[in-house]
Structure 1
Amino acid sequence: MFIGREKELSQLNHIYNSGKFEFAVIYGRRRVGKTAIINQFIKDKAAICFTGVETNEKQNLENFSRAVFQFSTGIETDTVFNSFQSALEYVFEISINKRIVLCIDEYPYVARSSKSLASTLQLLIDKYKDKSKLFLILCGSSMSYMEDNVLAYKAPLYGRRTAQLKILPFEFKEACNYFPKLSDEEKALAYGIVGGTPQYLLLINDKLSIEDNIKNIYLSPVSSIFEEPNNLLKQEVREPAIYNAIISAIATGSSKLSEISSKIGENTSVCATYIKNLVSLGIIKKELPYGDVSVRKTIYSIEDNMFRFWYRFIPENTSIISRGAVDLAYSRIAPHLSEYMGAVFEEICKQYLWHELLKGNTPVNFSDLGRWWGNNPKTKQQTEIDIMGTEGKEKAIFGECKWTNADIDTGVLDTLVERSELFNFNSKHLYLFAKNGFTQGCIEKAKEYKNVTLVNYADILNEK
């Protein structure tokens, strides 16, 4: 089942239709759907698709040769080119008079086993770029390898690409297409527990309740996702144990570097290196109070919902899960789901604001959104604003998000107004986001302020 990705397919088809030599780099985390996009793109095109494997150069060359000869002759053969250079030059030659797509998927596996491959591609691109109609695609899941050895300034292929696509997980509204039969609240919960990665979204059975989905996906030792975070880390990093410890520390409340370091028993310089890698993998994110540049205020949180849910609830329940006590494990998770969804709802609300901005529906043309936290000089206490965005130095928006069953009352609005007064902007607009709705008192007070927008979760879900 292929869902979405219209923008990415449109971009690829636009490049393809140029008719001249093109070189696109497609990269992104594992399971995010890169290969599915490529397969959808080439299904009506003349294409050679080759997927590298983690083996030696000889094996990859044999597999590549089979793919090339299958394309050019239509028959399977054991004939092997004597080198990647001769194989690639053959493809460049036959594409002089014909538009051909050559996709090398899992490129890092091939390049690691064939150290000269990047230089060979550089040589052939420079030789054929003005006469070949080849559309070359290099695709890879190793984010660090693709960024350092394909896209970076010092990489042999730097300056040769004509396009690059970083494939990201789906946002909430796109993810909802995977489970249309779930209730509105369950759709948010589903996104909260598996995130926007297509392969994980496919695990959601929208004929079952969220409780049953959590039990089937996370609380069964035979589930494909039960060991998924560990397996992904083993594929990406050399010392998964320390990475595991760092993610677990963040998932259970340690957000500052010093706290993480203390929790796992490693010095801060060691932790900083590992954290940097996790950020590049898109597993955790680095945050500063909106508009602040002070490094000492940096905190870290888990960006990917599947990782966040798994590390928040699974490790502490592993023993009872392995003994088949599914109901007991779920009973320990259920009371914390509403609290867990708080950060998920904040992200959903940010996505909504971005969509509204792009449609020209926001009173402030913000350039970024983020959280703010700091000291309130009036109360002498730390305080926080869920969402903040600014347009230059004159305008700002402030948002508060509440994933609670109760309707939002005037107290929440008053608090947001008070916190917005910590900042000196000529024009301020406030957003209140609610799971279920607002009291009549809150609605009336919002009208009095004249700069407040009230948004129900249902409004977000039904946004066009």
Structure 2
Amino acid sequence: MEFKGRAADLDLLTRQVGLVTEGAGATRGQAVTVTGRRRVGKSRLVQEFCDRSGLPYVVFQATRGRHAVAERVDFTAALAQSTLPGGELVAGLQAADWNQALRSLALAIPDDAPSVVVIDEVPWLVEQDAEFEGALQTVWDRHLSAKPVLLILVGSDMSVMEALQSYGRPFFGRAAKMTVQPLHLADVQAMTGLGAADAVDALLLTGGFPEIVQSWRPGMDRTDFLREAVANPLSPLLVAGELALLGEFPEASHSRAVLEAVGSGERTFSAIAAQAGGTGALPSGTLSPLLNTLQAKRILTADLPLSAKADSKNKRYRIADPYLRFWLAFLRRGIPLIERGRGDLALERIERSWTTWRGRAVEPIIRESLLRLLPDGRWPETEAIGGWWNRRNNPEIDLIGADREPVAGAVHFIGSVKWQESQPFGRREYDALVRDMLAVPGAEPGTPLVAVSRCGAAADLPLAAHWGPEDLVRAWQ
């Protein structure tokens, strides 16, 4: 399958290997950790980079739950079968521990020419053998860093990958950090051939996960894409969500129950506790560490109201990526229907709730896009975009532009999002914004009002700014 997008990610890796080939780094060898959500395309990216580099390389992928001895056998076999010049020197080697296995890597890579080494799913190696980290640090310091090699350490468990680089851990300070994000809005538009507004819908459905975006045939609209996906139980849109979750969370776990509660629309601590607990609410002592872990893994995000007044206890939780949010809201419950050939019923459920669901799901994408458009000439100091709400969610403001977060020094603008198929932002929405704006701490009668809408805004409204789908796409180009 043709590799598309990821130009910025490939450029980052090319720069790292440039430090190796030019000898411009503090050491001859360079290391980089590559992390990102499961199924976001990390392995495909590094393979593409290796192929394009033209350098000798080896890619080793760990297997979860495998015995460390068997893993080391496969590691040395991968070296022997690779394009590394010294690979044949280690053929048949029996490494007693990871120190020996990684020293065999030092034998396989050349002293006088650059090469690339990829170790994929590093968290699983750490899980298998507590000595792996220390061995990696020792061999890197004594052997690998003195050779012209780019060592790429890949992992999907973001909390483990960040811990590897934390102070006090063996490999601390030895690698650059790189996070692979899902494909952005402009990439999704380019790959699907859709207009700007429909491309936003495509991003909400696919989350920018490459395997799902590539299943969207160019020019196909949202309904046709969904109809085709729900007619096939093996479609990437259906399968990727379950595979991503099973990779980290057993189906019967408390973590899975919390994710499903948030995915179904619960946003507050108490509502999540009640939903995830089943017959009784999850105790705070159980739920709090679960929420912290899910945030550390970048699966959940906790938003705070943005204003000139601190409100650290008024959190609202959401699924971090749009695809998993969509999958949990609709597809998780629809899969049994689809498997028995009633994808039409699953599609009806989606269509019935689509407009309401999309209205809230699009807000994080809008805020992130505006952060790429701002600061600008009108708001040169706006570096934070968020929303605001009180404990009763009445009122709830979609957009707050400010100088900083979580507590703003100054509120620069207040705005509303109206993401309807055919209704523009009109007088009713404007009047509601005027009515509610002074509830926001830091707002004043003269605070500028802005809007983001799918279908434009009425011409007679005194808005300080209006952004539409084309502006959102432009933010990513």
TM-score (ref. length: structure 1): 0.87
Instruction: Output the amino acid matched with 1:191.
Output: L
Q: Report SS of the residue matched to 1:314.
A: helix
Query: Is the Cα–Cα contact under 8 Å of residues 117 and 152 in structure 2 kept in the other structure?
Result: yes
Instruction: Output the amino acid matched with 1:434.
Output: S
Correspondent of 1:420 among 421, 432, 437:
437
1:92 paired with 2:106, answer yes
Query: Is the Cα–Cα contact under 8 Å of residues 230 and 244 in structure 1 kept in the other structure?
Result: no
Aligned to 1:363: 379
Query: Is the Cα–Cα contact under 8 Å of residues 389 and 397 in structure 1 kept in the other structure?
Result: yes
Correspondent of 1:115 among 130, 146, 149:
130
Query: Is the Cα–Cα contact under 8 Å of residues 401 and 414 in structure 2 kept in the other structure?
Result: yes
Q: Report SS of the residue matched to 1:285.
A: strand
Query: Is the Cα–Cα contact under 8 Å of residues 106 and 141 in structure 1 kept in the other structure?
Result: yes
Aligned to 1:134: 149
Pair 1:371–1:139, CA change in 2 (3 A): same
Aligned to 1:226: 238
Q: Where do residues 275-286 of structure 1 align in structure 2 (5 Å cutoff)?
A: 275-286=291-302
Residue 319 of structure 1 and its aligned partner are, at CA, apart by 4.5
Query: Is the Cα–Cα contact under 8 Å of residues 364 and 395 in structure 1 kept in the other structure?
Result: no
Aligned to 1:157: 171
Q: Which whole-Å CA distance do the structure 1 matches of 2:259 and 2:389 have between them?
A: 22
Instruction: Output the amino acid matched with 1:385.
Output: I
Pair 1:321–1:76, CA change in 2 (3 A): farther
Q: Which whole-Å CA distance do the structure 2 matches of 1:103 and 1:319 have between them?
A: 39
Q: Where do residues 96-245 of structure 1 align in structure 2 (5 Å cutoff)?
A: 96-128=111-143, 131-148=146-163, 150-161=164-175, 163-180=176-193, 182-218=194-230, 220-238=232-250, 240-245=252-257
Report which stretch shifted further, 83-92 or 395-404. 83-92
1:24 paired with 2:32, answer yes
Q: Which whole-Å CA distance do the structure 1 matches of 2:10 and 2:195 have between them?
A: 30
Residue 395 of structure 1 and its aligned partner are, at CA, apart by 4.8
Aligned to 2:23: none
Residue 168 of structure 1 and its aligned partner are, at CA, apart by 1.7
Residue 436 of structure 1 and its aligned partner are, at CA, apart by 1.0
Query: Is the Cα–Cα contact under 8 Å of residues 56 and 85 in structure 2 kept in the other structure?
Result: no
Aligned to 2:79: 68
Residue 416 of structure 1 and its aligned partner are, at CA, apart by 2.4
Q: Where do residues 272-351 of structure 1 align in structure 2 (5 Å cutoff)?
A: 272-291=288-307, 293-351=310-368
Q: Which whole-Å CA distance do the structure 2 matches of 1:293 and 1:386 have between them?
A: 18
Aligned to 2:389: 373
Pair 1:332–1:86, CA change in 2 (3 A): closer
Q: Which whole-Å CA distance do the structure 2 matches of 1:137 and 1:337 have between them?
A: 41
Q: Which whole-Å CA distance do the structure 1 matches of 2:269 and 2:16 have between them?
A: 43
Query: Is the Cα–Cα contact under 8 Å of residues 34 and 42 in structure 2 kept in the other structure?
Result: yes
Pair 1:47–1:301, CA change in 2 (3 A): same
1:46 paired with 2:56, answer yes
Q: Which whole-Å CA distance do the structure 1 matches of 2:249 and 2:339 have between them?
A: 26
Instruction: Output the amino acid matched with 1:53.
Output: T
Report sequence identity in percent. Answer: 22
Q: Identify unmatched segments of 5+ residues in structure 1.
A: 447-451
Give deviations 1:171-200, integer Å, cap 9, x for gaps: 2222222211x3443322211112122222
Q: Which whole-Å CA distance do the structure 1 matches of 2:12 and 2:202 have between them?
A: 29
Give deviations 1:7-42, integer Å, cap 9, x for gaps: 222222222212321111111111111112212222
Aligned to 2:25: none
Give deviations 1:399-438, integer Å, cap 9, x for gaps: 2111112122123223323433344368743321111112
Aligned to 1:449: none
Q: Where do residues 386-397 of structure 1 align in structure 2 (5 Å cutoff)?
A: 386-391=398-403, 393-397=409-413
TM-score (ref. length: structure 2): 0.85
Q: Which whole-Å CA distance do the structure 1 matches of 2:63 and 2:349 have between them?
A: 41
Aligned to 2:70: 59
Query: Is the Cα–Cα contact under 8 Å of residues 263 and 329 in structure 2 kept in the other structure?
Result: yes
Residue 332 of structure 1 and its aligned partner are, at CA, apart by 2.3
Residue 46 of structure 1 and its aligned partner are, at CA, apart by 2.2
Q: Report SS of the residue matched to 1:441.
A: coil
Give deviations 1:77-100, integer Å, cap 9, x for gaps: 952243443342243354432222
Query: Is the Cα–Cα contact under 8 Å of residues 79 and 90 in structure 2 kept in the other structure?
Result: no
Q: Identify unmatched segments of 5+ residues in structure 2.
A: 21-27
Pair 1:330–1:128, CA change in 2 (3 A): same
Pair 1:362–1:125, CA change in 2 (3 A): farther
Residue 363 of structure 1 and its aligned partner are, at CA, apart by 1.5
Query: Is the Cα–Cα contact under 8 Å of residues 211 and 236 in structure 2 kept in the other structure?
Result: no
Pair 1:228–1:34, CA change in 2 (3 A): closer
Instruction: Output the amino acid matched with 1:424.
Output: G
Residue 281 of structure 1 and its aligned partner are, at CA, apart by 2.7
Instruction: Output the amino acid matched with 1:47.
Output: Y
> How much is the aligned-residue C-alpha RMSD, in angstroms?
2.7
Query: Is the Cα–Cα contact under 8 Å of residues 342 and 402 in structure 1 kept in the other structure?
Result: yes
